[in-house]
Structure formats: C-alpha cells, structure tokens
Amino acid sequence: MVQIGYSLMCEQTPPKRLVEDAVAAERAGFDYETISDHYFPWLEDMDHSPYAWSVLGAVANATERIPFMTYVTCPIMRYHPAVVAQKAATMGALSDERFTLGLGAGEHLNEHVVGRGWPPVNIRHEMFGEAIEIIQALFGGEYVSYRGDHFTIDSAKLYDLPAEPVPVGIAASGAQSVDLAAEYGDALIAVQPDADLVSRFHATGGAGKPVYGQLAVSYDTDVQAATERAHRLWKWFSAGWKVLSELPGPVNFEAYAQFVRPEDVTKNVPCGSDIDAVVRAVKEFTDAGFTHVALVQIGADHQREFLAWAEKELLPALRDLN
C-alpha cells in the first residue's frame, strides 16, 4: 500500500505555522512528512523561506509518531557535508529515529548565496558523491579523515547519534544521479512519476528500497480560485529540473513563469475538490513504482481546510490504491 505524506513547504509558510501544520497533518492521519530546505522561495509571491532545520527541531518536539524527512538538503555548497551529517544525526536522536535525510545536488537558487559560484552539473555530481561518502562515514561514529577532489575532512567525529544510522534518500532526475542513489542511498527521491528512473534504480542496486515522490495539489471548493492560486504560486514548476536547477533567483523564475498559462499548470496539478483527480495523479506515481507520495497543498492559508478534507475524504480514497 502506498504511503501518503504531507509536504511542509518553507517557501510559502512562516515557521510557526509550519510546526502547527505538521501537528495537524499527524492528527489527520498522514503517514509521513517532508520539508523543503531553501534559502529563497521560487517566486516573490510565496513570501517565505525560514531555516528548515530549526523548523525540524520544533516539529520533532511537537509531533509524536509521524516520520519526517528533508526533501531535499544539498550538502555541497551552502552546507558542508560534515555539518549536514551532524544536523541529521542530531535530528535522528532528537526524534527517536523518525528522521530520514533526503539529499540532492542542489539548485542555483539556494546555493549561490555563499559566493562560490555554481559548478556545471558533472562537477556537482562529483561533489555530491563525495559528500554522501563523508556523511555516511560520519554516521558510523568513528573519527573520519577524508581528502577528495572537492572536500577535505580533518578528524571529524559525531558524538550524538541515534541507535540506528539515519536513512539516506537521494534525489535523482537522470541516469547519473539514479546510479548514485542506487549505490549510496536507502531510498530514491524524484518529483516526476518516471518509471524509467525507478527501473534503473531497481536494476542498479535499489531493488526493494523505498521510492519517494511528491505531488502538488490545489484544494478548494471553488475550482476557479484553486486554479488561480496554483497558477500564481506554482507556475514555475513546469520548466523541468534542467531549467529549475540553473535559475539563480526568484526574479528569474518569475521571468520564465510569465509565459506559463493556467492550463499548463493544471495538467500536472489537480485543482478543486475532485478526489478522483488526485487519486489518478497519485496512481501515476504508484504505477511507475513509487512506494511513497507526499502531497503539497498550494497556499499557506489553505492548509487547514485541505487537511480536514484529506482526513475525511482523500486519505481513505488513497488507502485503496495498491
């Protein structure tokens, strides 16, 4: 049975509300939660971007049973991998092992802020591979020294670890990143229901491991209002990862998104209160081999009505998916 998650989107919600939404989603019956890890929102209209790891600590304290994960953290520019390992280990211990570390090779949008430029994708993947090796070595609890082409570690050791190592999910959008996920990861993460990615992951070492996806929805009893909100806040998404990972700021996302029509958004975002539309969209992921699908409700001010609808109507319908 597919596991249905709830996405905490830092780019559209102030920090205290994120914690409140996390508690409400646990009560509504979601199976797990994800949180984005950004320095900027994609669009200025989204208006928020708090530090995800501070929010995670509050969520761990405020919730009781629900697992949660970063979706995703980049450990190659804005954060050094040794620091990511310490943050993740602390979250694992603080949450009684409910935390999964989702990792990705990053977006120009967030990583350029430290002034180190934005390397080409092949270099980013080299850096990403080294970062994963460092993080997993530190999860072993011993002193780690490392000298790679991109990162150096000098006698680092983590002193607070959960009883079991923090699981690592790795985001992928193509063959090279899928192979990294299969070799180093405990799970695959993707944002599109791409069966080819899942097949390659299974064939190269990921068979039997979880596969996480994410689906944006715009719930509202007024279909027109739901569509307008989805177009205003989610029109950037249709560019695809090869474009999204390279744009440097919200103004650039806005420049791209000015050409996106509402009908372009609604092709991939169920809008309104049609349960069958959401079920069909989630089924695209499950048919492609995904075991987990997190739902993003677009609009910070529309979370509570979405969660009430999900608890009473949507989640029971999605439980019937095999």
Tell me if the pTM is above 0.75.
Answer: yes
Burial code of 295-322, b = ≥16 C-beta within 10 A, e = fewer? bbbbbbebbeebbebbbeebbeebeeee
pLDDT at 286: 97
Each residue's pLDDT tens digit, 274-288? 999 999 999 999 999
221: number of Cβ within 10 Å:
10
Tokens of 162: 């959960």
The residue type of 65 is R
Active-site choice (26, 33, 38, 125)? 38
Query: Which residue among 11, 26, 33, 107 is the active-site one?
Result: 107
Predicted confidence (pLDDT) per residue in 186-241, tens digit: 999 999 999 999 999 999 999 999 999 999 999 999 999 999 999 999 999 988 88
What are the residue ranges of helices labelled H in the chain? 15-28, 52-62, 81-94, 108-111, 121-138, 175-184, 195-201, 223-234, 241-244, 250-257, 262-266, 275-287, 303-309, 315-319
User: For this structure, is 38 an active site residue?
Assistant: yes
Q: Is 107 a catalytic residue?
A: yes
* Residue 134 neighbours by CB under 8 Å, 6+ apart: 81, 82, 85, 144, 146, 151, 153
Question: Position 302: which residue type?
Answer: H
Q: Please give the pLDDT value at position 1.
A: 87
